[in-house]
Amino acid sequence: MSSPDPQHDPSAAGLDDRIDLIVLFGGQSAEHDVSCTTAAHVLRAADPSKYRITPIGIGRDGTWSLATGAQHALAAGPDALPGHLDPAGSPVSATEVVSAAGGSRTVVMPLLHGPMGEDGTVQGLLELAGVPYVGSGVLGSSLSMDKAMAKQVLAANGIAQARSRSIREHEITPSLPQQLVDELGLPVFVKPANMGSSVGVSKAKTVEAVRDAIALALSYDEWVVVEEAITGREIEVAVLGNLEPRASVPGEIVPGAEFYDYADKYLDDGSQAVIPARLSPEAAAEVQALAVRIFQVLRCEGMARVDFFYEDGPGGRGFLCNEVNTIPGFTPISMYPKLWIASGLSYASLIDELVALALERQSRRRRNTAR
């Protein structure tokens, strides 16, 4: 699948015990660019004395390629990597990639945000191939990705959330925007059910704006979630682990825009991250425990970032779960690595632990299925 070089040649002296790490990035979703940036920073941080790294890019059209530019930059040293990887290169098939990943010392790290990557599709491919991979399995990935279904499961487990409605495209009628306003008030947030990074999310302040926001959300998904707007603090917790997950210190996002949208997250750097969040010890412990519980309820494994709203004033409802991201961003301004660094785990050590968790999970699953 790749030509020998110092980074990839297993015959190089002293490097035979390294793990083969296949990094998948790019993808077909609207979060393609975020994934390419995430992958660049992961490749730069991964320890070349521990890993033989093969970057596999997935184009917006679904084409899989050995990312030639990233591979050459890796051979020149991590500092040669650009801040944004190009997924183009020598075409390979998904079958070739998973076949090459069949060894016992190989781990796939999917860094594919959004649909066709974070939603259980790639995870299912890797499960069928028996390949260890970083992050949640098929059920945890698909359930967390679909905001409408995640809300149902969380509600059934008594997890507090904003009031909301989930609607499928064929259920939308001309009178629906007014009905939603009557039920949820104004303003409301309108979101595609299966998307992340605030792509396709709108804050609607009038009935007509609700109508337009639904149309925008439907351009990304056939399911739409409409939520009451919460006046509260935005608290995020990173969770790491398999059978015994643990939570990072909580962080707080102070948006630079009216809400924490795509540009605020990745382009403008206008938001402010306060780590650790200014919470009482009791409130911090409460949200950490709640994040771990949500991680387990949604069958997550490996990693996830759990996002909350915090209504802490008189009459407030406390911590309300907003959403769960099973492949959170790893860009320099992303909260997931920042929260773990503040908790005493370096970026490189975080990658090491995620790889170890992937191998542990695969070993456990083999014991359960080898009958």
Q: Which residues are catalytic?
A: 31, 197, 266, 305, 307, 323, 325, 329
3-state secondary structure of 251: strand
Strand partners, 309: 234, 320
Q: How far is it, in rounded angstroms, from Cα 318 to Cα 136?
A: 28
Q: H-type helices in 204-280, by residue range?
A: 207-218, 262-266
Q: Helices 347-369 and 32-45: crossing angle, nearest 10°?
A: 100
Q: Helices 68-76 and 32-45: crossing angle, nearest 10°?
A: 20
Q: Which residues contact 246 (CB under 8 A, 6 or more apart)?
A: 239, 240, 292
3-state secondary structure of 25: strand
For residue 287, give both structure tokens.
């949200």
Nearest CA-CA partner of 12 in 48, 56, 66, 44 = 48
Nearest CA-CA partner of 101 in 73, 69, 64 = 64
8 A C-beta contact, residue 307 and residue 325: yes
3-state secondary structure of 80: helix
Q: How far is residue 360 from each of residues 20, 35, 104, 301, measured CA to CA in Å?
A: 16, 25, 12, 11
For residue 248, give both structure tokens.
């990072």
Q: How far is it, in rounded angstroms, from Cα 216 to Cα 84?
A: 27
Q: For residue 247, what is the enclosing H or E element?
A: strand 246-247
